[in-house]
């Protein structure tokens, strides 16, 4: 089933669940509130890893009965990440939910696990974005791990993102490569990488997806030669499902672009993040998220695991 | 202080028509843009055969403004920066894109959204001087500037964070006009509350007039994101030229080009 909005993801997860969730550093009110509601909705049940005393204390405060769930007591971030990831790798949980833990220990655990697996692959962050103006969700990547991915890393990132989209019901997701090609000073690594990626695609390197024509949003919406006439004529269905960004500097700004005008033209933009490539479904809410947003992350975790 | 596009158009109209040299239009789009700008009292178009001719007229003071029109971007910039053209040096060029923020009734600038590819710190200083000069023309005397990066702390793996820290220090020592802070990520730069939550006391957070973007990959594409996903009209201005020049980037609509001409008129 193809997921076109986060609301759909929440609905479908009710039917797909329940699943078991490794929660990394669970001692946070918003996360526990989210897990409580997720449990009520039938998304699944958590294995709560972190400071057990605090977890039980907060659970008590919010009336969340965790007596039936496993709680693993640990205060060391690397140990927390390692244990949660290992549970998922052994199949005892279905996916990992990043709780109140920093990124690096989790990345390390995932990279180590990936290195042990058969398909050793670069990991990356895919941000799934919902823009009110678009008829579907789009994935931006890599928005979190590699500062300046080279050609090989970009190959892996595309495969990772395509894998995630196939789990969200997209049969052969379209991939758009974004560069700054603009008819001026176009001798750019992003452009030469894009040409090589398209050649690799033509040789059948990416059976799981389609790399579309064009090298920029202007290309996707206006064709490679067109000029913007006006916004009313823009056909938003032409946006590719997955957008590959050249570097983290751009990815990081793009993924948070709504903050530049959140009370104006970007109100209603929503995002949810995943770490992909280690073979372990991992959802990464932001620590500033409220429980309502984290519930969606959990629903997405249910769908991709 | 200019707070929205309408004020810019009104101001430009009050300044009277400017003579605008343009290589002979080939497209209906450019012909219509010129017609509308003329009707709006902004310009008197002066059509010439090739960009070089327009540039020569500009250098001789026979026209007030230059317009790329249907000429190719590379061809036109090359002609502008050719030795002896007398219009600009390539290193000094940069592009500022502006959009309206209706909820706060003010204008926001992004730079360099078109020209410099991977500007080093020296070029970033130039890009900022251009943008600060432009803000001054719009009546923003001491603009707040966020030097954007992906992080708030200096990280030697992320070049923009190092550049931002240097620019920020230069601002503190008044080597640059304007108040520059960085490195800031877009989230912190655009909200005082969020920057405080991350433990930052940034003097520009939530009140940024100019966003300095790290490189062309981010700046050009972010301009496109604002246009297509934010559905914004972007006005733009090429800076670093001896006479005002209007470009024709693909992501600018005819409405944008009209605003570009108004901005050029204000600068002339």
pLDDT at B51 over 90: no
Q: Kind of pairing, strands B106-111 and B94-101? A: antiparallel
Cα(A228)–Cα(A234) distance, integer angstroms:
9
- Name residue, tokens 């500033």: A288
Q: Please give the share of chain A, as a percent, with pLDDT higher than 90.
A: 92
Question: Are the Cβ atoms of B187 and A259 closer than 8 angstroms?
Answer: yes
Residue B59 placed within a domain? yes
Averaged pLDDT, B65-88? 92
pLDDT digits (tens, 9 = 90+) for A208-225: 999 999 999 999 999 999
Averaged pLDDT, A12-20? 94
pLDDT digits (tens, 9 = 90+) for A22-40: 999 999 999 999 999 999 9
Residue B52 placed within a domain? yes
Interface of B with A in 152-181 (CB under 8 A): 157-158, 160
Question: Are the Cβ atoms of B213 and A253 closer than 8 angstroms?
Answer: yes
CA B75 to chain A, closest CA, distance in angstroms equals 9
CA B2 to chain A, closest CA, distance in angstroms equals 19
Q: What is the structure's pLDDT at B248?
A: 97
Cα(A125)–Cα(A255) distance, integer angstroms:
11
CB of A203 within 8 Å of any CB in chain B?
A: no
Residue B263 placed within a domain? yes
What are A248's two structure tokens?
């983290």
Q: Bigger pLDDT: A117 or B56?
A: B56
Residue B262 placed within a domain? yes
Predicted confidence band at A119 (pLDDT cuts at 50, 70, 90)? low
**Half-sphere exposure for A178 (CA within 13 Å, toward CB):** 30
Question: Are the Cβ atoms of B222 and A254 closer than 8 angstroms?
Answer: yes
Number of neighbours of residue A11 by Cβ within 10 angstroms: 14
Predicted confidence band at A117 (pLDDT cuts at 50, 70, 90)? low
pLDDT at A118 over 70: no
Cα(A241)–Cα(A247) distance, integer angstroms:
19
Cβ-Cβ contacts under 8 Å for A122 (sequence gap 6 or more): A146, A149, A152, A153, A156, A157, A160, A277
Domains of chain A, earliest start first: 1-121+278-305 (3.40.50.10950), 123-270 (3.40.718.10)
| Lowest mean pLDDT across A167-176, A285-294, B247-256 | A285-294
Question: Are the Cβ atoms of B220 and A182 closer than 8 angstroms?
Answer: yes
Q: What is the structure's pLDDT at B124?
A: 97
Buried b vs exposed e over B26-39: b needs ≥16 C-beta within 10 Å? eeebbbebbebbee
User: Which residue on chain B is closest to A179 by alpha carbon?
Assistant: B217
Averaged pLDDT, B218-241? 97
Predicted confidence band at A287 (pLDDT cuts at 50, 70, 90)? confident
Of B148, B187, B217, which is closest to A246 when you measure between CB atoms?
A: B217
CB B30 within 8 A of CB B5: no
Average pLDDT, chain A: 94
When divided into structural domains, chain B yields a total of 1
CB pairs under 8 A between A and B: 145
* Region of residue A21 (phi > 0: left; psi between -120 and 50: alpha; otherwise: beta): beta
Residue B194 placed within a domain? no
For residue B242, give the CATH number of its domain: 3.40.718.10
Question: Are the Cβ atoms of A182 and B103 closer than 8 angstroms?
Answer: no
Question: Are the Cβ atoms of A264 and B101 closer than 8 angstroms?
Answer: yes
Residue B200 placed within a domain? no
Cα(A38)–Cα(A296) distance, integer angstroms:
9
The ipTM (two decimal places) reads 0.95
List strands edge to edge, sheet with B106-111. B179-184, B144-148, B210-212, B106-111, B94-101, B235-239
Chain B residues in contact with A217 (beta carbon < 8 A): 221, 224-225, 227-229, 251
pLDDT at A250 over 70: yes
Predicted confidence band at A286 (pLDDT cuts at 50, 70, 90)? confident
Domain that holds residue B243: 5-143+209-267
| Lowest mean pLDDT across A86-100, A146-160, A178-192, B78-92 | B78-92
């Amino acid at each position: 089933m193809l997921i076109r909005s986060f609301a759909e993801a929440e609905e479908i997860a009710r039917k797909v669940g329940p699943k078991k969730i490794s929660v990394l550093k669970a001692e946070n009110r918003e996360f526990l509130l989210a897990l409580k509601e997720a449990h009520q909705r039938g998304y699944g049940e958590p294995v709560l890893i972190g400071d057990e005393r605090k977890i039980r204390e907060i659970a008590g405060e919010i009336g969340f009965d965790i007596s039936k769930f496993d709680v693993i007591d640990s205060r060391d971030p690397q140990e927390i990440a390692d244990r949660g990831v290992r549970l998922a790798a052994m199949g005892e949980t279905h996916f990992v939910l990043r709780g109140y833990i920093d990124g690096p220990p989790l990345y390390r655990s995932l990279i180590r696990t990936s290195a042990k697996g058969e398909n050793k692959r670069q990991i990356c962050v895919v941000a799934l974005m919902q823009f009110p103006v678009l008829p579907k969700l789009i994935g931006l990547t890599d928005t979190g791990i590699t500062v300046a991915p080279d050609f090989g890393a970009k190959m892996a990132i595309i495969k990772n993102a395509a894998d995630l989209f196939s789990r969200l019901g997209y049969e052969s997701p379209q991939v758009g490569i974004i560069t700054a090609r603009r008819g001026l000073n176009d001798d750019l690594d992003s452009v030469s990488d894009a040409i090589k990626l398209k050649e690799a695609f033509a040789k059948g390197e990416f059976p799981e997806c389609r790399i579309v024509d064009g090298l920029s949003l202007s290309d996707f919406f206006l064709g490679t030669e067109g000029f913007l006439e006006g916004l009313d004529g823009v056909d938003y269905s032409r946006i590719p499902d997955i957008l590959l960004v050249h570097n983290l500097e751009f990815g990081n700004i793009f993924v948070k672009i709504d903050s530049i005008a959140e009370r104006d033209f970007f109100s209603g933009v929503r995002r949810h993040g995943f770490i992909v490539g280690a073979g372990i479904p991992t959802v990464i809410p932001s620590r500033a998220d409220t429980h309502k947003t984290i519930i969606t992350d959990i629903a997405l975790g249910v769908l991709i695991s | 202080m200019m707070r929205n596009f309408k004020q810019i158009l009104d101001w430009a109209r009050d300044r009277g028509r400017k003579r605008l040299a343009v290589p002979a239009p080939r497209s209906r789009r450019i012909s219509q843009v010129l017609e509308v700008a003329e009707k709006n009292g902004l310009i008197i178009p002066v059509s010439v055969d090739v960009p070089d001719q327009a540039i020569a007229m500009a250098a001789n003071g026979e026209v007030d403004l230059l317009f790329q029109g249907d000429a190719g971007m590379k061809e036109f910039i090359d002609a502008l920066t050719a030795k002896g053209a007398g219009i600009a040096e390539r290193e000094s060029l940069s592009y500022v894109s502006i959009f309206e923020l209706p909820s706060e009734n003010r204008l926001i600038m992004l730079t360099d959204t078109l020209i410099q590819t991977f500007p080093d710190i020296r070029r970033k200083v130039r890009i900022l001087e251009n943008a600060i000069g432009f803000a001054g023309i719009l009546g923003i005397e001491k603009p707040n500037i966020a030097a954007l990066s992906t992080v708030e702390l200096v990280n030697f793996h992320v070049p923009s964070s190092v550049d931002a820290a240097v620019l920020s220090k230069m601002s503190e020592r008044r080597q640059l006009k304007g108040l520059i802070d960085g490195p800031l990520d877009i989230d912190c730069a655009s909200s005082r509350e969020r920057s405080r939550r991350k433990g930052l006391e940034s003097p520009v957070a939530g009140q940024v007039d100019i966003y300095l973007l790290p490189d062309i990959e981010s700046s050009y594409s972010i301009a496109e994101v604002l246009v297509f996903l934010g559905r914004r009209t972007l006005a733009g201005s090429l800076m670093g030229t001896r006479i005002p020049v209007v470009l024709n980037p693909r992501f600018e609509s005819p409405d944008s080009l009209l605003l570009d001409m108004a901005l050029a008129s204000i600068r002339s």
